[in-house]
Amino acid sequence: MPATLCYLTPAVSEIPTPVNPPSPTNPNEAWRNFTVTSPIRACKLRRDDLKRLYRLINEKQIEHRDRVIPRLSRGEQETAEAFNARVVQVRNAFITTVRITGANGQLVTGHGEAFFDSPLLPERIVSIMYDTSFGPSAILKYTPSDRAAV
C-alpha cells in the first residue's frame, strides 16, 4: 500500500479573500499554502529519520505558536493570573502529534522526539501520521489555519 504525503490547508470557504494579498514576509511561509499528495512506493526509514521529520514539522508548529501567543489579550474581567494560565495553556497546546500503525495493526500515539525511542513502537511500520492540529483542536477547540498532516 503506497504511503501518502499530504499537507492540509483550510477549506476554501475558511480562507478570506484579501483585496490586495500581502506578500509573505518570509518566503519559507509559502509551503503552508498548498496541498501535495505523493505516493511513496517503498522506502526504508530509520528512527533517526522519523525524528528528523518530526523536528522539521515541530519547528514550524512552534513558529506558528510564537505568532499566535503575542496576539492574545487579557479580557476585561480576566485576572492577571487567569490570563497567564491561559497563555500557558495555549503554549502547551501547540504540539505535533504522531500516530504510528504497525503491520500487526498496533496503533501507537505520542509526541516529542523521545516518542521515537519508545519500546512500544512496532518493529514494522505500515503508516505514520504527523499532525499539528490535534493539540490545538483538542485542548483549545481551535483548528489552526496553518496546519500540517503528513
What are the residue ranges spanned by the domains of the chain? Answer: 46-140
pTM across the whole model: 0.66
DSSP 149: B
- The pLDDT assigned to 38 comes to 62
Query: What 3 state SS string does 10-62 have?
Result: CCHHHCCCCCCCCCCCCHHHHHHHCCCEEEECCCCCCHHHHHHHHHHHHHHHH
- Mean pLDDT across the stretch 131-145? 76
From the CB of residue 73, how many other CB atoms can be counted at a distance below 10 Å? Answer: 8
- pLDDT higher than threshold 90 for residue 127: no
Which residues partner with 40 through β-bridges?
3
CA angle 142, 144, 96 (to 5 degrees): 100
Q: What is the model's pLDDT at position 148?
A: 64
Answer whether 90's CB lies under 8 Å from 69's CB. yes
Q: Where residue 138 falls among pLDDT bands split at 50, 70, 90? A: confident
Q: What is the pLDDT of residue 40?
A: 67
**pLDDT confidence tier of residue 131, bands split at 50, 70 and 90:** confident
Check residue 134 and give its pLDDT. Answer: 80
Tell me if 122 sits within 8 A of 110, measured CB to CB.
no
pLDDT tens column, 82-124: 999 999 998 988 889 999 999 999 999 999 999 999 999 998 8
CA distance 112 to 121: 14
Tens digit of pLDDT for each residue in 29-66? 554 555 555 666 677 788 899 999 999 989 988 988 89
**pLDDT over 60 (residue 6):** no
